[in-house]
Amino acid sequence: MIEIFIECVLCTCFIIFFFPLKVGENKRTVVILQKIFMMSASASTTSKKLCSTCNKSAGIFTCDGCQQSFCGKHVGEHRQQLGVELDCLMQEHDLFRSKLDQPLSEENELFKKIDQWEKESITKIQRQAQTARKTLEELLMKSKEQTTKICSDIRNNLQTTREADDFSELDLDRWKEQLKELHESFQSSSSIKLTFEKSSASIRLIKIVTDETNKTTDDKQIPPPPPPQKENTTINNIQERFLQVLGPLIIQEDDYLVKHLGLAADFAYVRGKYLYSMGCFTIRFRIEQCAQPYQIFFGCMASKDPLKELVFKSPSAVGWFGHNQVHLNGSCSTNCKQHNYHSTVIQKDDEIQLTLDCIHEQIRLFHKRKQMLCTLPVDIKLVPFPWQYLVVLYNVGDTLRILPNI
């Protein structure tokens, strides 16, 4: 604005000097010049910037960085403040630099996670090893007790027969066959081996299995249940086997055959390898030997419950037995009309199909020769997921085979 004021004065002087005016006109010209001077002065006063610090004195210095004006008194303070900020920035840099010089294992969070993973893995391996030792001890002791009991029964039977002098070649052949099967069973149960799980995990857990029962270290190590299935879908990509037994049973032929080896009729239990909580799966059985009257139980139970005596009569089991018995969560019914179940028609070489339908919370038994279909609801409050199939043999010599999936 000062430059504009100077230009106005120069222009006015030029006009007066080169273009003389009359007396009246000179007076009017002076008034015009006074107005111009006042406007220029007002504009000059208005255009001045005040100091950003005190907001009183005129700002005579403008900072190129923040574009603020400062008076002579406060321009030094502004520079001093910038110096303090620079010192703080340098201290922050030095602090960060000192962190970089420290060992990585102390500061990097990933190292802490790796250390935690290492501790948890060691604990898991130690726990699994202890479980394997305990299971091995239980298996050896159980095999010894079962074999001892059967040997004692055979000895008593032989002694009684000897004293009564009541035996023939047929009895001798039968006892020889029993001793042979007992010997094979003992050899099978003693051939316990250590196996590793087939897993994609970097740490493979060991487990104890036996050729007799393929019993695992605990229920958690049983092969996982089938993958989740959509509704109305049948799972056909797994093949069931016999796994865990209780009583005088022997599992043979790669776990596809089970036989009752008792000296007298008695309940003998076996359940399956897989757990079921989703989808629908059908297991095919063939009755290769079956004494009459027919007494074989087909059904399911909660996998969380142990295999124990009379488990098929417990609230956590559902299924069909001989004498037209239907067991449903601890209750027993023989109403053939209500359940469409007739055990008297079942005989040797018949095929029985057991379906575990987790989708509709029910199990089905299908007798192929008679085209007999039976259905039982499963109360998941009493028989919670996951399920396992359950088979009970009662008569001596009864033999059951699992057939391949269709």
Nearest to 125 by CA among 61, 201, 62, 187: 201
Written as one letter, the residue type at 95 is: L
Whole-model pTM over 0.95: no
Report pLDDT for 142: 76
Q: Concatenate the DSSP letters of all residues of 86-133 into one string.
A: HHHHHHHHHHHHHHHTS-HHHH-HHHHHHHHHHHHHHHHHHHHHHHHH
Report pLDDT for 302: 94
Residue 398: half-sphere exposure toward Cβ, Cα within 13 Å: 30
Look-up: residue for tokens 């239990």?
Answer: 269
Report pLDDT for 343: 95
- Name the CATH topology of 222-406: Jelly Rolls (2.60.120)
- pLDDT digits (tens), the chain, 406 positions: 445 555 555 655 555 555 554 545 556 655 665 665 555 544 444 456 888 888 888 877 888 888 888 887 888 888 888 888 898 999 988 888 887 777 666 566 777 888 888 888 888 888 888 888 888 888 778 777 777 877 887 788 788 878 888 778 877 887 787 788 777 766 665 556 777 666 545 565 556 665 544 444 344 343 443 333 333 334 446 789 999 999 999 999 989 999 999 888 999 999 998 899 888 999 999 999 999 999 999 999 999 999 999 999 999 999 999 999 999 999 999 999 999 999 999 999 999 999 999 989 999 999 999 999 999 999 999 999 999 999 999 999 999 999 998 7
270 strand-pairing partners: 245, 391
Sheet strands side by side (includes 242-246): 242-246, 268-272, 387-393, 296-302, 317-320, 326-328, 331-333
Report pLDDT for 370: 93
CB-based contacts of 111: which residues, under 8 Å, 6+ apart?
104, 105
Q: In the chain, how many H helices and how many E strands?
A: 7, 18
Q: Where are the domains of the chain?
A: 2-53, 126-221, 222-406
SS (H, E, C) 147-199: HHHHHHHHHHHHHHHHHHCCCCHHHHHHHHHHHHHHHHHHHHHHCEEEEECCC
Asked if 328 and 301 touch (Cβ cutoff 8 Å), the reply is no
SS3 content of the chain, % helix, strand, coil (to 5): 40, 25, 35
Asked if 209 and 251 touch (Cβ cutoff 8 Å), the reply is no
Report pLDDT for 397: 94
268 strand-pairing partners: 393
